[in-house]
């Protein structure tokens, strides 16, 4: 398993949509990060601009048969004052397990309410009871780990030694727009586009980036994968790119891969790091706790897209889950292969 880091500039904006069966709401909200199925679509689209159709088909086939695997793109924090070879230069955030609130004493309502708002944690945080998480915006973090970040960040600026830094990856911003395309039935009607604006943490000596895991088993596809990922910096990711959204400043490999991202032990409990379509009923039964979402289904000029229900990141399972890609129609493939990591047994139900 390897890691690609998508460099982001502070204040960059992204719109990932919040895919709905109602196309009128597709722009009104945005997901908080880049899901694996959308990343897959971006990579295939990038390669199709350069390579002939047979190369594209072999590229897609490699994803279909599991010779190329990708996770969703989550957030990481770069400590810019540290050298590139420092093992602590990057702090990688992962999704919160869907069972996190189930571990908390049901009488501790305030903590449960706070944990429900959390979307991202670290591997160190994963190992402690959620009742002991320190909650900051959408982030849950081990208090000791937070202190380490705080101790690093305070000397980077003019801060009091007793001050606590406020870490947030992004702000959600809603911008009013008016549709000017006369062919559209909603021409002249106002609508809202909601985007993520990446926060500027440079005064703390920190930068916010995206990262995703990948595994290439077929070396003949390595060059195609590298080309497709590097083109993310040229084409951007997500929607509304014609309006300046989705800018990626560069793509590079992480020098150090944390051990918890390496091959998981299928005899232990695992958590999904990608959106998953179970291959069969047996794989579905391996999930002890899951959250799902419907992908696709938006209306288009040619009619509604097909829909598929997918298992979300942070879902918990045991044994083995491979997942599958679902063909939804002509030139429509929804990526649903599984990438996972081991988690403590306390998250199993």
In this predicted structure, what is the pLDDT of residue 240?
Answer: 57
Distance CA 257, CA 267 (A): 22
Q: Are 348 and 287 in contact (CB under 8 A)?
A: no
Identify each DSSP E strand in the chain by its residue range. 2-7, 13-14, 68-70, 74-79, 90-95, 120-122, 134-136, 139-141, 170-178, 190-198, 206-216, 250-253, 270-272, 287-289, 292-296, 307-311, 316-317, 326-329, 332-334, 340-342
**Dihedral of the alpha carbons of 31, 34, 38, 41, in degrees to the nearest 10:** 150
In this predicted structure, what is the pLDDT of residue 266?
Answer: 80
In this predicted structure, what is the pLDDT of residue 172?
Answer: 83
pLDDT digit string, tens, across residues 37-89:
999 999 999 999 999 999 999 999 999 999 999 999 999 999 999 999 899 99
Residue 333 placed within a domain: no
Residue 166 placed within a domain: yes
Residue 281 placed within a domain: no
Residue 64 placed within a domain: yes
In this predicted structure, what is the pLDDT of residue 200?
Answer: 95
| Closest to 34 measured CA to CA, from 20, 10, 15 | 15
Structural domain of residue 219, as residue ranges?
2-263
Residue 125 placed within a domain: yes
Distance CA 57, CA 64 (A): 10
Distance CA 305, CA 339 (A): 26
In this predicted structure, what is the pLDDT of residue 21?
Answer: 44
Report how far Cα 205 is from the mean position of its chain's Cα atoms. Answer: 23
Q: How many domains does the chain have?
A: 1
Residue 272 placed within a domain: no
pTM of the model: 0.90
In this predicted structure, what is the pLDDT of residue 60?
Answer: 95
Distance CA 188, CA 46 (A): 33
Residue 312 placed within a domain: no
Using 50 as the pLDDT threshold, list the residues of the chain that sit under it: 20-25, 182
In this predicted structure, what is the pLDDT of residue 133?
Answer: 96
In this predicted structure, what is the pLDDT of residue 186?
Answer: 52
Residue 51 placed within a domain: yes
């Amino acid at each position: 398993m390897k890691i690609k880091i998508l460099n982001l500039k502070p204040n960059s904006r992204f719109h990932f949509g919040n895919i709905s069966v109602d196309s009128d709401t597709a722009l009104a909200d945005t997901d908080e990060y880049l899901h694996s199925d959308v990343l897959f679509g971006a990579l295939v689209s990038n390669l199709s601009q350069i390579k002939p159709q047979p190369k594209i088909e072999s590229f897609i086939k490699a994803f279909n048969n599991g010779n190329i695997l990708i996770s969703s793109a989550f957030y990481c924090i770069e400590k810019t004052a540290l050298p590139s070879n420092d093992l602590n230069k990057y702090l990688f955030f992962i999704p919160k397990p869907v069972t996190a609130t189930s571990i908390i004493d049901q009488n501790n309502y305030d903590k449960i309410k706070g944990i429900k708002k959390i979307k991202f944690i670290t591997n160190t945080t994963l190992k402690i009871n959620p009742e002991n998480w320190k909650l900051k915006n959408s982030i849950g973090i081990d208090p000791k780990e937070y202190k380490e970040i705080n101790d690093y960040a305070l000397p980077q600026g003019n801060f009091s030694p007793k001050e606590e830094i406020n870490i947030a990856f992004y702000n959600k911003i809603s911008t009013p727009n008016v549709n000017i395309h006369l062919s559209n039935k909603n021409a002249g009607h106002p609508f809202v586009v909601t985007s993520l604006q990446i926060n500027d943490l440079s005064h703390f000596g920190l930068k916010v980036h995206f990262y995703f895991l990948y595994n290439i088993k077929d070396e003949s596809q390595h060059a195609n994968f590298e080309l497709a990922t590097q083109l993310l910096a040229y084409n951007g990711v997500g929607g509304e790119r014609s309006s300046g959204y989705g800018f990626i400043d560069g793509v590079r490999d992480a020098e150090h891969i944390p051990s918890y991202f390496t091959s998981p032990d299928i005899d232990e409990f695992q958590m999904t790091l990608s959106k998953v379509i179970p291959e069969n009923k047996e794989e579905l039964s391996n999930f002890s706790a899951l959250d799902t979402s419907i992908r696709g289904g938006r209306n288009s000029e040619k009619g509604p897209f097909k829909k598929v229900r997918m298992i979300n990141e942070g879902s918990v399972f045991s044994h083995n889950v491979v997942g599958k890609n679902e063909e939804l129609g002509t030139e429509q493939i929804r990526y649903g292969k599984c990438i996972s990591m081991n988690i403590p047994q306390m998250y199993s139900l």
